Amino acid sequence: MSETAASTDRTLRTGPGRLLVAVYGLFALAATARGGYQLATKFGEAPLAYTLSLLAGVVYLVAAVGLARAGRTSRVVALVSCGVELVGVLVVGATSMVLPGVFPDDTVWSNFGGGYLFVPLVLPVVGLWWILRVHRMERGRPDTP
């Protein structure tokens, strides 16, 4: 690995990157525990909602690991995870607002993450921004659009 690549990998995991890993890890734990518990104890009430919460937890876990490892492949994994998360929160959020009967109980992504202070909506945007910012730094481009 070149000195520049090693420096960039460390940059992805420092400052805001470290905070992102922590928040993704916390959300991975919370969503996975919530979805797993709900699936185990109340599956018949809202199986789709509980499965989506568990899926959200897995997506958060994959993003956290991708950001924490910070290699080129891990960065791509984190980028895809954040993209999947953003699409998920937008689709589930819109569906829960327009067709509330589809989700008899809330998911992590219901109402655009409103039950979690909209962190599920903001988190993938910040994650994507950070990953792309570090990628631009690696390419030697300035941090301006």
User: How far is residue 133's CA from residue 81's CA, in Å, rounded to a whole number?
Assistant: 16
Which residues does the chain have with pLDDT short of 70?
Answer: 1-14, 70, 139-145
Residue with tokens 């941090």: 143
Tens digits of residue pLDDT in 88-105 = 999 999 999 999 888 888
pLDDT at position 47:
86
pLDDT at position 63:
93
Our measurement of the distance from residue 129's CA atom to the centroid of its chain's CA atoms, rounded to an integer in Å, reads 12
| Other C-beta atoms lying within 10 Å of the C-beta of residue 116 | 19
Rg of the chain over all Cα atoms, to the nearest angstrom: 17
**31 and 113 Cβ atoms separated by less than 8 Å:** no
Residue 92: burial class (beta carbons within 10 Å; 0-12, 13-18, 19+): buried
User: How far is residue 18's CA from residue 62's CA, in Å, rounded to a whole number?
Assistant: 15
CA dihedral 69, 70, 73, 76 (to 10 degrees): 120
pLDDT at position 118:
95
pLDDT at position 2:
47
User: How far is residue 81's CA from residue 66's CA, in Å, rounded to a whole number?
Assistant: 8
**46 and 103 Cβ atoms separated by less than 8 Å:** yes
Whether this prediction's pTM lies above 0.85 is answered by no
| CA-based nearest residue to 38, from 93, 86, 110, 99 | 110
User: How far is residue 57's CA from residue 34's CA, in Å, rounded to a whole number?
Assistant: 9
